[in-house]
Amino acid sequence: MNWLARLRPVAFIAVLLIIWQVAIDRHPGQLLPGPWQTLRGIGDLLQHGLLFKYIVASLFRVTWGFLLAAVIAIPLGLTIGWYSRAEMAFNPLVQIFRPISPLAWIPIAILWFGVGDLSSIFLIFIGCFFSLLLTAMSAVHNIPDVYIDVGRNFGLSTPNFIYRVLYPAVAPQLIVGLRITLGIAWLVVVAAEMIAVNSGLGFLIVDARNAGNRYDLVVAAMVIIGIIGLLLDLAMRSLEQVKSFRWGFPEN
């Protein structure tokens, strides 16, 4: 029965594709391409060597922006969350900047870094930073007091306390935050590439629209973006199966 459960999503997607194709066949004058046209658009991208080039460009920007945000925001968030005075000082500033959309930073990003990879990486960094910072702060607040008391009773030094108590306690919540934030990064890179660079999947959508209304390529790029987003989410979810973190997640 397990294989039947796995086939259900595939069958549902197949039904949606059939409905999509039937709707296009009944209204052939619509600009929206059907599944076969979209598939041919993907074939055109492969034939011209653009598909993997644009995918790699987008993943490159997401990787650097996301990793830079994680490396800076997580330790900073844990520190601010641990020290109440630091949280009182920095939290108002965080709450002011957090609601600002990463896309609002586009003019400043172009002013500082010009049109290119650095602008997109900066926008992704901004989009991920505050989400991870607040996740880390919240994770510290949710550490059970008994863990902290046990660590102190054993007389652990500060490095040992961080390694043996703090990080294991916050790891499950951080993984969830990283998973959500990676989705944000993927959204931001597509939007940033429509304005700040001349490559990537976001740029492909705009370029296809401007180059003779190639809506088959527009939809093809959208499909590819969705598939890659799903794969990235599955990759992050696989961290939940790591033995060191599994205790923090409910059994399926």
Least confident among 23-32, 42-51, 164-173: 23-32
pLDDT band at 62 (very low <50, low <70, confident <90, very high): very high
CA 231 – CA 242 distance, rounded (Å): 18
Tell me whether residue 9 is in a domain: no
pTM score = 0.82
pLDDT in tens, 135-186: 998 888 887 777 777 777 777 676 777 777 777 788 888 888 898 899 889 9
Under DSSP, the state recorded for 31 is: S
Cα-to-chain-centroid distance, residue 194: 17
Under DSSP, the state recorded for 242 is: S
Tell me whether residue 4 is in a domain: no
Instruction: Specify which of 80-89, 110-119, 120-129 reaches the highest per-range mean pLDDT.
Output: 120-129
* The predicted structure's pLDDT at residue 1: 52
The structure tokens listed for 58 are: 């987008």
| Res. 81: pLDDT tops 90 | no
The domain that contains 65 carries what CATH number?
1.10.3720.10
pLDDT in tens, 186-203: 988 888 888 777 888 888
Tell me whether residue 156 is in a domain: yes
Terminal-residue alpha carbon distance, the chain: 16
CA 235 – CA 195 distance, rounded (Å): 28
pLDDT in tens, 191-240: 888 877 788 888 888 888 777 677 888 888 888 998 898 898 888 887 76
C-beta separation of 71 from 131 below 8 A:
no
Q: What average pLDDT score do residues 45-55 get?
A: 87
Give the helix ranges, DSSP H, for 142-240: 145-153, 158-161, 167-193, 201-210, 215-237
Q: Which residues does 54 contact at the CB level (< 8 Å), separation at least 6?
A: 45, 199, 200, 201, 203, 204, 221
* The predicted structure's pLDDT at residue 190: 85
Which residue range(s) make up the domain with 90? 51-246
Tell me whether residue 61 is in a domain: yes
Tell me whether residue 178 is in a domain: yes
* The predicted structure's pLDDT at residue 123: 92
CA 15 – CA 36 distance, rounded (Å): 15
Task: Encode 81-122 in three state secondary structure.
Answer: HHCHHHHHHHHHHHHHHCCCCHHHHHHHHHHHHCCCHHHHHH
| Res. 111: pLDDT tops 70 | yes
pLDDT band at 28 (very low <50, low <70, confident <90, very high): low
Number of domains in the chain: 1
Tell me whether residue 44 is in a domain: no
Under DSSP, the state recorded for 241 is: G
Task: Encode 112-151 in three state secondary structure.
Answer: HHCCCHHHHHHHHHHHHHHHHHHHHHHHHHCCCHHHHHHH
Q: What average pLDDT score do residues 67-73 get?
A: 94
Tell me whether residue 8 is in a domain: no
* The predicted structure's pLDDT at residue 246: 56
